[in-house]
Amino acid sequence: MTLGLVNNLQAQNTENGTGIGKKSLQKTKVFATQQKLMFQVQWSKFMNEFWKMVKFGFVGAGAFLIHFCLYYLFTRFLMPEIYSVILYILAMGYAMTFNYSAHRSWTFSDHQSIQGSVYRYVIVVGLAALLNSSIFYLGHYLLNLYDLYVVLFASAIVPLITYAGHRWYTFKTN
């Protein structure tokens, strides 16, 4: 029930002397106010989570650019003679360092600083890196797909899993 409906009921009550009693009207007003407050709280939680996901996307895009550009530089110019999986993991290490710092200070900054978040981050990212590297190895070496396409594909899949891990495990609230 909205406050507008409550006001209509109140107008009916005063116009013709019928309708609902004052006590019922007060209860209805209280109920409508509670419903409005509950909606506002739920909406606020939804928007908070939405903006966390947007921030996560921006940080992820930045980490992707670091990872992709470093991998490209390493494999094409700086160290082309080194096994590309090693260079892939090296570039991923730089991206992960940026990723943790940005998520800790920006994406999940409203969460209390909890001891052990670095360790939990290493666990989530370690599993994500294992998945990411496995996708790269499978796609590039076993399926003979172009390496940059595999990097793009892996970088699109793994963030879906890491968001959930970071949100509810790494940076969880007490």
**What pLDDT is attached to residue 1?**
45
Checking if the pLDDT of 96 tops 70, the result is: yes
Summarize pLDDT for 70-95 with one digit per residue, the tens: 999 999 999 999 999 899 889 989 99
The pTM of the full predicted model, rounded to 2 decimals, is: 0.68
Asked whether the beta carbons of 72 and 59 are under 8 A apart, the reply is: no
The long-range contacts involving 98-102, CB below 8 angstroms and separated by at least 24 positions, are 98/62, 98/63, 98/66, 99/59, 99/60, 99/63, 99/125, 100/125, 102/59, 102/62, 102/63
If you search the block for the tokens 């599993």, which residue do you land on?
127
Q: What is the DSSP string of 17-72?
A: S-SS-HHHHHHHHHHHHHHHHHHHHHHHHHHHHHHHHHHHHHHHHHHHHHHHHHHH
Task: Report the C-alpha gap between 74 and 68 in whole angstroms.
Answer: 10
Summarize pLDDT for 102-122 with one digit per residue, the tens: 988 898 886 665 667 888 888
Checking if the pLDDT of 50 tops 50, the result is: yes
